[in-house]
Every structure is written in C-alpha cells, then in structure tokens.
A and B are shown apart, each in its own frame.
Chain A
Amino acid sequence: MEKIEVINEVKKFGKVTAVDHFSFKVKDGEVVSLLGPSGCGKTTVLRSIAGLEDIDEGEIYLGGELVTAPSKKVFISPEKRRLGLVFQSYALWPHMTVYKNVAYGLEVRKFPKSDIEKRVKTSLELVGLKGLEHRYPSQLSGGEQQRVALARSLAYEPEVLLLDEPLSNLDLKVRERMRGELRSLLKKLGITAVYVTHDQEEAFCISDRVIVMKDGKLMQEGKPYEIYETPANLFVAEFIGRANMLKAEIKSVDEDVRKALIKVPDMNTELVCEYEVDEFPKKCSFIIIRHNEIGIYSTKPKFQENVVEGEIIAREYRGAITDHKIKVGNSQITVTTHKFCGLAETCEKTHVYLYIHPKAIKPIAST
C-alpha cells in the first residue's frame, strides 16, 4: 500500500520553479531518499509533504488521504498530518529540556502523564540518550542534539517520518556512524520514511530506493545499485560516483552474446561493451567509465581487447587512493588506483596501458 503519494507537484517561488511536475510514491515501511544537488527542490518536496509549504499544482496523499490539492482547495495543516520531521538544524527548542522537547508532541496530543513519561523514556533509550533528560539543547553535542531531534519526532509514533539532511551538520566520523544506526532504527520500527540528502553515499546506505532530482524534476529512480550501475542520463552519471565521460557512437550490437562495439572518437579506438540489461540502447551519445574500474599497466597486457595507450600527465595523491590523469588520444581520462596497485608510485610522463573492462562501459542514451 502507498503511504505517501505525490502527484505532479508544481511549486514556484516567484519566477523560479522549484518543483516541476514531480511525482513519486513511497510504500508502507519503505525508506526513500530524495537525492540531488542543493537547490534541486528536494527539501521543498519534503516540506510540502509536511504541510509547511503550499503547492501550486498537484496532489499529495498521506496514507490514502488527500492532504494537499490546490485545485480542490484542500490543505490539511501540518499539525493534523500525523508525521514526524527531523530538521537539518534540528530545530530543538532552546528553552525546553531534552525531556520537554521529546514530550511536547505527546503533551499536545493530550497523552496521560504517566504514559508520556514512559514514552519519552522509551524514545530516548531508542536513540541511546538515557540520562540526559534534564539537559538543555545547548548543553549537548551536535550528535546528541541530532538524536534528541530524532527521539522527538519518533515519540508520538508517527506513521511517516521525514528527514531533511539530518546528518549534514555532523562531523564526518559521527555522520558515518549515525547513518548505519539510523538505517537499522528505521528498519526496526518499520516506519515509512523520506530522507532528503545531497550525499549519495548517505542515500545509498540508508534507503531502499533513491530518487535523483535536478531543477525540480525527477531524473531517475531505483534501487541504489541501479542508480549507480545504470545511470539513466548524463546528469545522474555525473552526479553519482566519479566517472569519465566520453563521446561515443554504437557501431554494432550482438544481442545473442550481449555485446556491443562502440566507437570512441576522442580515444581513436573502438571498445567492446558487455551489457546486462535486457535491451541495449540503439543509439548513444556518451559512454561513462568509472574512475576505479580501469586497469593501469606499465607494460602492454597480453589480452588485446579494450586496451588503449596513454601518458600520465598528472597525479593527485589522496591518501587511500591516487588519481592519475592520463592523456589518451585527444581525451583526458582519470584512473583511480589504490596503494597495492603496482603503478601507484608512477611519475608524470610515464607511458601506460589502460585496460577497460567490457562491463565497465555504460552507454548513456540521452543527455
């Protein structure tokens, strides 16, 4: 059953169209991420689900109930939507203790006092904050504040939880730990959640399904690996992961062995591509090859297929990995190696051979 349904949402701020005919659905118990660069409209979508933002066109359903529909003059105010929202800034009330913050939603709902106490205790335990009830938000660390915000929105057991970049204000280490905890917590509670983020790793770790947005439009939606492995367009390919992008055209397709021959003019070569999807596009204008899916050798490898020659023109040492900028024909390719790769110590102007695995080549049909 669909818990959240957004149909053709349009939202304008003055002349700017923040959300442009955007639709998506979230099933009961599913965690969906809205992923995109800043200003892509993902937060606006989230806020319109919460009822904090009016929309210009479209309809929004929560649990099968129509909550926003400008054409029908329907607008249910946020307090009646029975959902939880975790803000990027946490939005903890500075004049209330942790206990008061978490209890607020329950007090508003007129829960009996003993029940409130029990539930506040349970939610604080759930996020691992036992014993901090009487502190004020300003006396907590960023990570702790984030947990309070989470506990506050979970205390009254909403059916839907909305999270607006909840981890982006935390240090890298805390962020990485929290995203794992958050995922297991959401799954344990079986709660339906929409998670807004601009961090692809976070989106991939936390959600069942990812929706990539740009300029208020849906670019691609799918499971995390689908987004990464088969980007639907140039934008997704560029935005997700790090990839080389090359102009290309398809010479021939052999559907029996699922192979295609692709001409890459800038490299002065033709590459064999093995595909796993059911249907290979008839035409393509670009191919992408991930930085870390290219082999690099100082001597010519024995196999002949998909080997190109090039020259290292620059290196960027990044600790765990090294980026090599390699000139191949008229194009510049980035190849990422780790320290156990034999060529990790190569210097500039070295002549190298690149092996591009046939499965690493992804055709992009449209821009």
Chain B
Amino acid sequence: MRGTKIPIFLSIFFLVILLIPVIYLIYGSYFFKFGGPSKSFTEIVFSPLTSKLFVNTIIYAVGGAAVATTLAVIYAWIIVRTDVPGKKFFELLPVLPLTMPFVVKSFAWIYLFSPRIGIVNILIKQIFGIGPIFNIFSMEGMIFALGMGGVPLVYLTVEPAIRAMNPTLEEASRVSGDSLLRTFRKVTLPILLPAILSAFTLLTIIGMENFDYPFMLGHPVGVDTLATEVYFWIYESIPPRYVNAAYLSTIYIAMTFAVVCLYIYVTRQAYKFVVITGKAPYQTVHRLGKWKYVAFAVCFIIIFFVFLLPFGAILLMSFTPFLYLGGGAVNLTFTLDNYIKAINLPLFYRALTNSIILGLAAGIAATLIALILSYAALKSKVKGARLIELISSIPLAFPGIVYGLALFWTFLLFPGISKLLYGTIWCMVIALIFIRLPYCVRIISGNLIQVADELEESSRVAGASWRRTFFNIILPLLRRGLTNSFLYTFINSLRELGAIIILATPGSIVLTSLLIQLYSQHAMALNTIAAASVILCLLIMVSLSIPSIYQYLLRRYITKRY
C-alpha cells in the first residue's frame, strides 16, 4: 500500500542523533586530545596488557554464558516437559532474579563469598577449619556471578521455544525405544539449538559489555576486562586519559561488533529452520517416576543459587547489624536501623527520584522511537526499509560504558551541548535509549508483524486517514508490545550501571551509582547498602507486577475480551 514517508524520515533522524556521539568518539579521538598525555593508538592496540584484557573479557563472557545457558536449558526443559513436583512454583521464580540489579547481586555474593567477610567462607572455616573455599574476587567468581545472573535471560528465550516445540517429536523418539536422556540429547537439543545458540550468543555479548561484575569482583584484585580498563583511564588515572579510553573503546567495539554480527546471523538462521509456530501444541509431559525427586532437586539447586540465596543474603544483611562471626556463636538480631540509615542518607531521596524519572523518561522515549522505527521498517513498504531494523541493532555492539564515554566526548567537543545536558539525568536518558533501543525494536516489531496489513487497509478503505488508522487501529493492537518495551526499558534503567557511571554527577546521582559510591566510601557499611538495595529491588518488583495486576483487574471486572 502507498504509505507515508514520515516514519522513515523520523527513523533516520533518530538513528543519526543517537549515532552521532559514536562517530565523535571514534573519529574525534584522532583529532582532539583531551586530558593527560596519552599513548598512540598502536601502542594501545598492540600492548600485551590489551591482549590480556581481551582474553579476560572473552573468558569471562563465554564462561558466564556457558554456565547460564546450561543451567537455564536444563531448568526450562524439566519444568516444561516433565512432571516435576512444584511446577507452578518453579515457573514463577525465574522472573524474580530480574528484580535484582547486577550491582545488588554483587553485594550479595561479596557478603556470602568474600574470602575475608563472606559468611559462607567464615562459617565453613569455623566448622571444618578449611577455607576460604570460594573466593568471589576472582575470574571464577566473575564467571559464577555472570552465570547465575544470566539464567533468567536464557530461560526467557528458551522456555517459549521448548513450549512451542511439538511434543510428538520427543514422543516419536521414546516410542522407537530411546531413553529419556538420549531423547533429550538426540532430539530435543538439536531442535532447540537455534534458540539456545541465540540466547548463548546474546548472553556472551552482554557479558563482554558487562561492567558491573568485573568492576565489583575483578577490578579490586586486578582481574580486569576491557570495560573496567576504560573506566580506569577515565576515573582512576590521574590525570584522566580520555584518549587512551577512546582508543581502547574502538577495539572494544570492534570485538563486540563481530559477536553482534554473529548474533544477527544466528538469529536470522533461527527464523529459518525453527519448528515454532504461532499456536502452542498440546503439551504432554514425560513421567519421571521416582526420578522426579532428582529433577526437583536439580531445579531447586539452580533456582537457589540464581535467586533464593543472593536475595536471602541481601534481605538478611539489610535486617541485621553487621555480622561478626567470632567465637562460633552466631547472634542474629533483627533491626530496621539499616533502612533508617539508608533513607536518611543525604543523597538517597534525590537518587530515588532521579532513578524513577530516568526510568520513566528512557522507557517512554525508547518505546516511542522503537515504535516509529518498527513501523517504518515493517509497514512503510519503502524499498530497503527493513535496513532500519538492522541499523537499530547497532547499539547492541556498544558497551554501556563506551556509549557513556561517547556522550562524554561529545560534551567535551561541544561545550554548548555540555552546558545543557552534562550533569543532568537527561544525558543518561539518551544513553539508556541508545543501549535499549535494539531490544525495544525487537519487542515492538515482533508484535507489529502480527498485525496484518489488511487491518490497516480496511481502515483506509473505510475512510480513515493514515494518521487516524495509526491511532485507532495500530496503537491499540500494539498495546502489549508497547507495555513490554516500556517496562523492559524502565527496569533496565533502574538496573544500569555501566552506561551511567561516567555520566553521573552528585546532581544526577541514581540509585545504582549511589550504591557504588557508598561501597567505595566505606566498604564496611554493607548493611546500609543492602537496605538501599532492597528498596531498589522492591521498586523494580512493583513495576514488574503492574501489568499482571492490571490484567487481573481487567479479567476480574471487565468481561473477557479478544
């Protein structure tokens, strides 16, 4: 159909605006020198330190992604395809870890597995006289943390694929005489491979770009990745060496870009030979017999480490005074002191409101832009419009900290813009829009593709203009996609650390940066930090549950709709 070109123009406009800082970062670093004396580009690229960082980043990302993928696939398969007891409980739980920002989880792991103050290590030492058994401040610790942190994400990708898989495929294998385990290996895994592969690759990208865990768990003991090294040149080097950071960012992006290309390739393949259709087939489950208790144990252990343990630790920490585990006796007293202290922190209220404003603004803006991009890509019927989808996945290749640096660089070049934006939360809003855009576009275009062209055409023929059709037909049908996109961005804005750590100033402080600040100021005040963390988690939890509550009320009080 002859459409309007407005969405195309708007899309190009937004993409250009968002990509300009990147161009300034890459080209600008050659022509403008800011900060202290810098090394040359080749010195940075070919230094042994850089290759060490490179290797570290890859080991960390691939290791974490492998752990998370393995656990999540096993967990999802047991829940969907077997009669494991406590199914409802296990189905509900994997979403909950998303309410814990990685920063908060790092505090939990430190509280549990720090060699000095980690309660698990201390308890085991006291009881068995050995230890510390696990040091979270290490590469293994980082991989462990990323592995646990990545499980929900993989689960949310793989679970629908398992659910959509035709159970007769597995049944056919069982009938022809294969054992359940062999069926899982020979039939289930190959069918799910595209979904698993895409989740694994995506998590690898997230791991490579991740700042939180390397900063919290590796950086203090000298296990650095590219992300923490970029941070180092900006924040910890005196004077700050922005050019070094920019050079390093360039090769950092080159690496992530390669993996993102791989990811796009893998997911494109996935659409091709995937067995998934719109309608979920009737699900039959494998009867495990007495093995179901083993399955239960497996699921429980996974969810225990992914959520119950870290969340329990944070809760415990927030309600108790500093735990001193001396002399064998553990004296537990519960108190609200930590919460009172957290709330009365001078910057707490500002950080809280900033976080909420940041989430709302980034959520609304990213969703609107993604809506325009998706519409232009899928419905404008202009040649090459689908390229927009591809271009909008470019931010996937940008670690938050690098885009933060890119914005920072743009501010250095243009004092005018800097005066307007630097030190406000609006520059963080821009960073978060950029970083979350690919995800929002995927969510919304996934929804939009289900809206048949005829629904629009019939509105036009009935006499409605393009604009009216867009507001009366398209928008209402996209309600679910838009809500999901908004919530996704909102929640991730509250969780984000990498993209904002460079941009946050005392005036534009948000909850995650406040936590980091507290931690760096008095590392022993973990209990106050825990209380503030719990408040942050609660905030995310409440916003996550809003659509469910809305759905519930709708179902309860309004007759069943389409």
Q: What is the minimal beta-carbon distance from A45 to any residue of chain B, in angstroms?
A: 15
Question: Could you give, for residues 446-481 of chain B, a 1 whenever the CB lies within 8 Å of some chain A CB and a 0 otherwise?
Answer: 000000101101111111111010001100110000
Q: Are A156 and B463 in contact (CB under 8 A)?
A: yes
Q: Are B462 and A105 in contact (CB under 8 A)?
A: yes
Q: With the chains together, A80 CA to B465 CA distance in Å?
A: 9
Residue in B2, B454, B561, B562 whose beta carbon sits within 8 Å of that of A77 in the complex: B2
Q: With the chains together, A225 CA to B472 CA distance in Å?
A: 45
Q: With the chains together, A54 CA to B461 CA distance in Å?
A: 14
Q: With the chains together, A191 CA to B18 CA distance in Å?
A: 54
Q: What is the minimal beta-carbon distance from B525 to any residue of chain A, in angstroms?
A: 52
Beta-carbon contacts under 8 Å, A292-331 to B: none
| Of A85-93, A165-173, A333-341, the one touching chain B | A85-93
Which chain B residues border A153 with CB–CB below 8 Å? Answer: 461-462
Which chain A residues border B127 with CB–CB below 8 Å? Answer: none
Q: Are B454 and A89 in contact (CB under 8 A)?
A: yes
Cβ of B175 under 8 Å from chain A = no
Select from chain B the residue with minimum beta-carbon distance to A152. Answer: B462
Q: Are B477 and A95 in contact (CB under 8 A)?
A: yes
Q: Are B460 and A52 in contact (CB under 8 A)?
A: yes
Q: With the chains together, A85 CA to B464 CA distance in Å?
A: 13
Q: What is the minimal beta-carbon distance from A105 to any residue of chain B, in angstroms?
A: 4
Which chain B residues border A138 with CB–CB below 8 Å? Answer: 562
Q: Are B460 and A78 in contact (CB under 8 A)?
A: yes
Q: What is the minimal beta-carbon distance from B466 to any residue of chain A, in angstroms?
A: 8
Q: Chain B, interface size: which category?
A: 20 to 34
Which chain A residues border B562 with CB–CB below 8 Å? Answer: 94-95, 136-138
Q: Are B464 and A104 in contact (CB under 8 A)?
A: yes
Q: Are B461 and A50 in contact (CB under 8 A)?
A: yes
Select from chain A the residue with minimum beta-carbon distance to B458. Answer: A91
Q: Are A87 and B462 in contact (CB under 8 A)?
A: no
Beta-carbon contacts under 8 Å, A50-85 to B: 50-54, 75, 77-85
Select from chain B the residue with minimum beta-carbon distance to A102. Answer: B462
Q: Are B455 and A91 in contact (CB under 8 A)?
A: yes
Q: Are A136 and B462 in contact (CB under 8 A)?
A: no
Select from chain B the residue with minimum beta-carbon distance to A78. Answer: B460
Chain B interface mostly helix, strand, loop or mixed? Answer: helix
Cβ of A109 under 8 Å from chain B = yes
Beta-carbon contacts under 8 Å, B535-562 to A: 561-562
- Known contacts A84-B461, A89-B454, A108-B464: A52-B473 contact under CB 8 Å: no
Which chain A residues border B464 with CB–CB below 8 Å? Answer: 79, 104, 108
Which chain B residues border A109 with CB–CB below 8 Å? Answer: 463
Q: With the chains together, A324 CA to B447 CA distance in Å?
A: 54
Q: Are A79 and B465 in contact (CB under 8 A)?
A: yes
Question: Could you give, for residues 98-135 of chain B, a 1 whenever the CB lies within 8 Å of some chain A CB and a 0 otherwise?
Answer: 00000000000000000000000000000000000000
Q: Are B457 and A52 in contact (CB under 8 A)?
A: yes
Cβ of B1 under 8 Å from chain A = yes
Q: Are B468 and A108 in contact (CB under 8 A)?
A: yes
Q: Are A79 and B476 in contact (CB under 8 A)?
A: no
Which chain A residues border B457 with CB–CB below 8 Å? Answer: 50, 52, 78, 85, 87, 91
Which chain A residues border B462 with CB–CB below 8 Å? Answer: 79, 84, 104-105, 108, 152-153, 156
Q: Are B460 and A79 in contact (CB under 8 A)?
A: yes
Q: Are A83 and B461 in contact (CB under 8 A)?
A: yes
Select from chain B the residue with minimum beta-carbon distance to A50. Answer: B461
Q: What is the minimal beta-carbon distance from A327 to any residue of chain B, in angstroms?
A: 46
Q: What is the minimal beta-carbon distance from B86 to any residue of chain A, in angstroms?
A: 34
Which chain B residues border A83 with CB–CB below 8 Å? Answer: 461
Q: Are B463 and A94 in contact (CB under 8 A)?
A: no
Q: What is the minimal beta-carbon distance from A296 to any residue of chain B, in angstroms?
A: 48
Q: What is the minimal beta-carbon distance from A77 to any residue of chain B, in angstroms?
A: 7
Q: With the chains together, A78 CA to B458 CA distance in Å?
A: 9
Residue in A53, A75, A85 whose beta carbon sits within 8 Å of that of B461 in the complex: A85
Which chain B residues border A81 with CB–CB below 8 Å? Answer: 461
Which chain B residues border A108 with CB–CB below 8 Å? Answer: 462-464, 468
Which chain A residues border B476 with CB–CB below 8 Å? Answer: 95
- Known contacts A91-B452, A91-B455, A94-B562: A79-B2 contact under CB 8 Å: no
Which chain A residues border B472 with CB–CB below 8 Å? Answer: 104
Q: Are B458 and A87 in contact (CB under 8 A)?
A: yes
- Known contacts A91-B452, A94-B477: A79-B461 contact under CB 8 Å: yes
Q: Are B2 and A75 in contact (CB under 8 A)?
A: yes
Q: What is the minimal beta-carbon distance from B554 to any residue of chain A, in angstroms?
A: 13
Q: What is the minimal beta-carbon distance from A115 to any residue of chain B, in angstroms?
A: 15
Beta-carbon contacts under 8 Å, A18-60 to B: 50-54
Which chain B residues border A79 with CB–CB below 8 Å? Answer: 460-465
Select from chain A the residue with minimum beta-carbon distance to B381. Answer: A54
Select from chain B the residue with minimum beta-carbon distance to A86. Answer: B458
Q: What is the minimal beta-carbon distance from A142 to any residue of chain B, in angstroms?
A: 16
Candidate in B459, B461, B463, B468 with the most chain A CB atoms within 10 angstroms: B461
Which chain B residues border A95 with CB–CB below 8 Å? Answer: 476-477, 561-562
Q: With the chains together, A75 CA to B3 CA distance in Å?
A: 12
Beta-carbon contacts under 8 Å, A81-132 to B: 81-85, 87, 89, 91, 93-95, 104-105, 108-109
Q: What is the minimal beta-carbon distance from B561 to any residue of chain A, in angstroms?
A: 6
Q: Are A54 and B468 in contact (CB under 8 A)?
A: no
Q: Are B473 and A54 in contact (CB under 8 A)?
A: no
Which chain B residues border A105 with CB–CB below 8 Å? Answer: 462-463
Q: Are A85 and B458 in contact (CB under 8 A)?
A: yes
Beta-carbon contacts under 8 Å, B469-503 to A: 472-473, 476-477
Select from chain A the residue with minimum beta-carbon distance to B469. Answer: A79
- Known contacts A52-B461, A53-B1, A109-B463: A91-B454 contact under CB 8 Å: yes
Q: With the chains together, A138 CA to B459 CA distance in Å?
A: 18
Candidate in B454, B477, B561 with the most chain A CB atoms within 10 angstroms: B454
Which chain B residues border A54 with CB–CB below 8 Å? Answer: 2
Select from chain B the residue with minimum beta-carbon distance to A164. Answer: B454
Question: Could you give, for residues 146-189 of chain A, a 1 whenever the CB lies within 8 Å of some chain B CB and a 0 otherwise?
Answer: 00000011001000000000000000000000000000000000
Q: What is the minimal beta-carbon distance from A193 to any residue of chain B, in angstroms?
A: 14
Q: With the chains together, A148 CA to B380 CA distance in Å?
A: 28
Which chain B residues border A104 with CB–CB below 8 Å? Answer: 459, 462, 464, 472
Q: With the chains together, A79 CA to B3 CA distance in Å?
A: 12
Q: Are A78 and B461 in contact (CB under 8 A)?
A: yes
Which chain A residues border B561 with CB–CB below 8 Å? Answer: 95, 136
Q: Are B460 and A77 in contact (CB under 8 A)?
A: yes
Select from chain A the residue with minimum beta-carbon distance to B464. Answer: A108
Q: With the chains together, A89 CA to B456 CA distance in Å?
A: 13
Q: What is the minimal beta-carbon distance from A153 to any residue of chain B, in angstroms?
A: 7
Q: Are A89 and B452 in contact (CB under 8 A)?
A: yes
Q: What is the minimal beta-carbon distance from B492 to any residue of chain A, in angstroms?
A: 28
Which chain B residues border A93 with CB–CB below 8 Å? Answer: 455, 458-459, 473, 477
Q: With the chains together, A87 CA to B2 CA distance in Å?
A: 18
Select from chain B the residue with minimum beta-carbon distance to A81. Answer: B461
Which chain A residues border B452 with CB–CB below 8 Å? Answer: 89, 91
Q: Which 9 A-B pairs have the closest CB atoms?
A: A91-B454, A105-B462, A91-B458, A78-B460, A85-B461, A108-B463, A94-B562, A136-B562, A108-B464
Given contacts A93-B459, A93-B477, list 12 more A-B pairs with CB under 8 A.
A51-B461, A53-B1, A54-B2, A77-B2, A77-B465, A78-B460, A81-B461, A85-B461, A91-B454, A94-B562, A95-B476, A109-B463
Q: Can you list 21 residue pairs at the A/B interface with Cβ under 8 Å?
A: A50-B457, A50-B461, A52-B2, A52-B461, A77-B2, A77-B460, A78-B1, A79-B462, A82-B463, A91-B455, A93-B455, A94-B455, A94-B562, A95-B476, A95-B477, A95-B561, A104-B459, A104-B472, A108-B462, A138-B562, A153-B462
